[in-house]
Amino acid sequence: MRVAVALCMLGALAGPALAEDEIEVAAAEGSRAGDKGTFGIGIILGEPTGISAKLYLQDDQALQAGLGFAFISSGIHLHVDYVFHPWILQSRDSFVLPVYLGPGVRLINREKSGDKQAFALGLRGVVGLLFDFKTVPIDAFVEVAGVFEIEFDDGPGLDINAAAGARYYF
């Protein structure tokens, strides 16, 4: 429910954020800033905390992944998302500020009481804001993802991930 509210609010804000001439300029520039490389690796902090990577397939489409420890869900977490950058909220001399969203998958191996562990597979829906710097090969992001998962011991459930991070591009 919280994810749905967040998506609706972000969509409502993003729609009128650009004037028509800014939309044309942003579309011509693409959401990818400069010639800084297509593969980035860095850190992600939150749920999960660990390593983040992103591979641009096109200027406005990418695969992003995170591998780390989920403190709230208490386990090792891996996710991969296919994200689109449909709206550019701002484009300045030093950075581009696109919104990204898309589907993904999550695998988590939870630590249960004692030495028990539970494996879960989930579908993610992610939405985020990307600070894509033009003058340095770095980006920074904040994101929220809703997860519908099947835990093989307990059945289906809902979860939420929220994180921030930064990546360096090669």
Instruction: Walk along the chain (170 residues) and give the pLDDT tens digit of each residue.
Output: 444 444 444 444 444 444 344 444 444 444 565 578 999 999 999 999 999 999 999 999 999 999 999 988 788 999 999 999 999 999 999 999 999 999 999 999 988 777 788 899 999 999 999 999 999 999 999 999 999 999 988 889 999 999 999 999 99
How far, in Å, CA of 129 to CA of 141, rounded? 6
How far, in Å, CA of 64 to CA of 139, rounded? 13
The reported pLDDT for the residue numbered 32 is: 60
The reported pLDDT for the residue numbered 99 is: 98
Indicate the pTM of the whole model. Answer: 0.78
The reported pLDDT for the residue numbered 34 is: 55
Domain boundaries, the chain: 2-169
How far, in Å, CA of 160 to CA of 156, rounded? 14
Assigned token pair, 158: 């809902």
How far, in Å, CA of 104 to CA of 83, rounded? 8
Q: What does DSSP assign to residue 15?
A: G
Q: Any bridge partners for residue 163, and if so which? A: 46, 143
Q: How far is CA 107 from the centre of its chain?
A: 16
Q: Which fold has domain 2-169?
A: Porin (2.40.160)
E-only strand ranges, 25-116: 39-46, 49-58, 61-70, 75-91, 95-111
